[in-house]
Structure 1
C-alpha cells in the first residue's frame, strides 16, 4: 500500500537532504551535539515529516498549512548551513551543495502550494 506522499518528488528530495544533513553533522565538534547538530538534523527531518503528515487525509488548506511548516524547516536548514560555515565546520563546497538542495526543495514546495489553490 502506497501513501500519497511517497509519490511526491519533493518528499523524496527532502528525505535525501535529511540523510545528507545527518552525514554532514557527524563531523561537527562534540560540543555542538546538543546545539547545532541537533537543530540541523531536526529541521532537515521536519521537512519530509510535515509533507507526509499534511498530505494524508487532509483538506487542501490543511495540507498547505503543513507545507508551510516544511518550507520554514527548509529555511531553518539554510540558516544552520550558514552557522556551520561561519564556524568552519563545513567547507564551501558542502555548503553550496546543501544550499542548492534547500533552494530546489523551496521551489518544489512553493509550486505544490500553488497547485493546491
Structure 2
C-alpha cells in the first residue's frame, strides 16, 4: 500500500463525500434545525476528512496517528448527531440507514489505515 497524495487514500475520499452529502441534506432545513444540529453535524462530518488530511501532511507517523484518532472521534460525534437527526424527524429512516452505513465503512477503513501506519517506522509518511 502506497499513497502519494491524500486523494489516493480511499478513507479520505469517502469521508469527504459523506460530509458533502450531509451538507446537501442540512442546507435544505429550516433555520432552527440548521442553526442547531445542522451546523454541528456539518462540523463533525467535515472534521473526519480534515483530520485525516492534516495527519497525512505531518512528517512523523505518530502525529499522523494522533490526527486519525481525532478523526475517529469525529466519526462517533457524527453518528451521535445523525441519531438526533433521525429522532427529530430531520431525515427519513432510509437516509439515516444509508448515512450510518457509510460512517461504519469509514470507521472500518480508518481503523485499517491506523493499523497500516502503526506498522511503519517513525520518520517519513506512508
- TM-score w.r.t. the length of structure 2 is 0.86
* Two-structure CA RMSD over aligned residues (Å): 1.5
Aligned to 1:28: 29
1:27–1:89: 8 Å Cα contact kept in structure 2? no
Cα offset, 1:29, TM superposition: 2.8
What runs of 5+ residues in structure 2 fail to find an aligned partner? 119-126
1:36 Cα deviation from its structure 2 partner: 0.5
Matched, 1:5 2:6: yes
Is 2:64 the counterpart of 1:50? no
TM-score between both structures, scaled by the size of structure 1:
0.93
Q: What is aligned with 1:111?
A: 112
Give the greater-gyration-radius structure (CA): 2
Across the two proteins, how many residue pairs are aligned to each other? 116
Shift of 1:26: 2.1
Distance (Å, rounded) in 2 between the aligned partners of 1:78 and 1:57: 27
Q: Name structure 1 gaps, 5 residues minimum.
A: none
Give the secondary structure class of the aligned counterpart of 2:91.
coil
Corresponding residue SS for 2:22: helix
Which residue number in structure 1 is paired with residue 82 of structure 2?
81
